[in-house]
Amino acid sequence: MRKESQSLAAESQYKVPLSSPDITAVEVEAVNVVLQSRWLSMGSETQNFEDTIAAYAGVEHALTVNSGTAGLHLCVRAAGIGPGDLVITTPFSFVASSNVLLFERAIPVFVDVDPASGNIDVAQVRQAVDDLKTGGAAAAKWLPRKGAEAAGELKAILPVDVFGQPADLDPLLAMAEDHNLKIIEDACEAIGAEYKGSKAGSQADYAVFAFYPNKQMTTGEGGMVVTNDAEAAAFMSALRNQGRAPGDTWLAHTHLGYNYRLDEISAALGHIQATRLDEMLAKRAQVAEWYEQRLGDLALVETPQILDTTTRMSWFVYVVRVTPEIDRDALIHKLAERGIPARPYFAPIHLQPFMVEQFGYQEGDYPVTEDLGKRGLAIPFSSVMTEAQVEIVCQELAAALED
């Protein structure tokens, strides 16, 4: 706690914040109304928020949860994933997308990512699915060095919509259909994005949005599971509420559940944010365009690439890649000295200490992920950023690159 508030204080020394929520008087008023009502959990704000997101994302069911991680965990439970089950996913993500598999003692089967987008490499998924179905030595080459003796059946694919750009879903959906697999879409970074004209989260078996303060919209902490599967929605609804099935009283628990509920204060905030989402996404797109105009021709950085399949980008962060000869971490330090915060994005999941310990991963196992992990640089980005702030960041970045 202490450490966090110290780093927040340090952050305020910066000329431009790394990220910032976009909160107006309307949100403040909505939160006030809830506080004055004294009804703080499981009420109409939760229902309104869910209805708004379901309509926005074009899905039948939306369930608020108290984090994106909690939402992904519910999806893993709904998919029936248990000990030893295999789930194909990527190590180029926020750690939660793999952790939720470990919570159930399932085994993530990592495949590398497409270098353009950082999204799951569909050709590798196809190969992995075929090899895992074949078994034996063919399957073994996709499994981790350590712990593979526990490997069971392939159950699901978990693609991540990295930085707000949807994963290439069509081939994944076709493979899922052919092999009876579930698709869990980690759309935590991609609310409002569109893949070939379809909203992120609307085509998978289950998908999750997240509302941490740096996301496109926020509830403080929070998330939302979306699905068109009524049975799964009812099951996840029970699990988030301590396993209470419909008809269970307060102290009756049909299932092993959790407290993954979102409170009414957060839901009221989220409801207003959801009604402002298109406005905020348009502002983020404008900020991205200002960056592209200034950084697009800079020799030492590569700006983000938008795929043809991305008919609408939902800008989450703005991550440039430095060219291989630049020391990214030294650059972050130089930028900090110039008053500009910047962060690596992402740190490869397979090289996190607990992953190495459990599965024996080594440097070199996922070269594209590792390369992107070494060269990615998230620079200040939010919907409240001004063109003048973008200009300052770009000037300091150009100067720091010349230091």
Ligand X SMILES: *Cc1c(COP(=O)(O)O)cnc(C)c1O
Residues 74-103 that bind ligand X (CB under 6 A): 93-94, 96-97
Tokens of 108: 């993530």
Closest contact distance (angstroms) between CB of 95 and ligand X is 8
Least gap, CB of 270 to ligand X (angstroms): 12
Side chain identity at residue 355, one-letter code: M
Asked whether position 223 contacts ligand X by CB under 6 A, the answer is: yes
Question: How many residues belong to the chain?
Answer: 403
Residue nearest to ligand X (CB): 68
Nearer to ligand X, 70 or 385 (CB): 70
Residue 136-165 contact track with ligand X, rule CB under 6 A, x = bound: ------------------------x-----
For the bound state, the minimum distance from the C-beta of residue 257 to ligand X, rounded and expressed in Å, comes to 18
Among residues 223 and 341, whose Cβ is nearest to ligand X?
223
Provide the angle, in degrees to the nearest 10, between the axes of the packed helices 264-275 and 277-295: 60
Total residues at interface with ligand X (CB under 6 A): 14
CB of 33 to ligand X, least distance (A): 25
Segment lying near ligand X (by CB under 6 A), choices 39-47, 65-73, 252-260, 269-277: 65-73
User: Measured from the CB of residue 172, what is the shortest distance to ligand X in angstroms?
Assistant: 16
Cα R_g (the chain), whole angstroms: 21
Q: How far is the CB of 100 from ligand X (least distance, A)?
A: 9
Residue number, 225 or 393, with CB nearest to ligand X:
225
Taking the complex as a whole, the smallest distance from the CB of residue 119 to ligand X amounts, in Å, to 11
Interaction between residue 273 and ligand X (CB under 6 A): no
Identify which of residues 68 and 201 has a Cβ nearer to ligand X in the complex. Answer: 68
Nearer to ligand X (CB atom), residue 97 or residue 119: 97
Between 71 and 341, whose beta carbon lies closer to ligand X?
A: 71
Instruction: Check the CA dihedral 320-95-175-314 and report its sign.
Output: negative
Q: Which of 328, 348, 347, 324 is nearest to 336 (CA)?
A: 328
- Interaction residues for ligand X, span 348-367 (CB under 6 A): none
The answer to whether the CB of 87 falls within 8 A of the CB of 157 is yes
Is residue 68 a contact residue for ligand X (CB under 6 A)?
A: yes
* String marking each residue 161-200 x if it binds ligand X according to CB under 6 A: -------------------------x-xx-----------
Contact stretch for ligand X (CB under 6 A) within 63-71, 79-87, 321-329, 348-356: 63-71
Question: Which of residues 19, 46, 64, 69 is near ligand X by CB under 6 A?
Answer: 69
Least Å from the CB of residue 339 to ligand X: 26
Largest CA distance in the chain: 67
With a CB cutoff of 8 Å and minimum separation 6, the contacts of 136 are: none
CA dist 389 to 290, 359, 394, Å?
10, 44, 9
Closest separation between CB of residue 392 and ligand X, Å? 26
Nearest residue (CB) to ligand X, 45 versus 189: 189
When the beta carbons of 131 and 161 are compared against ligand X, the nearer one is 161
Q: Which residue has the tokens 């981790």?
A: 144
If one asks whether residue 64 binds ligand X (CB under 6 A), the answer comes out as no
21 is an interface residue for ligand X by CB under 6 A: no
The contact set with ligand X (CB under 6 A) reads: 67-69, 93-94, 96-97, 160, 186, 188-189, 210, 212, 223
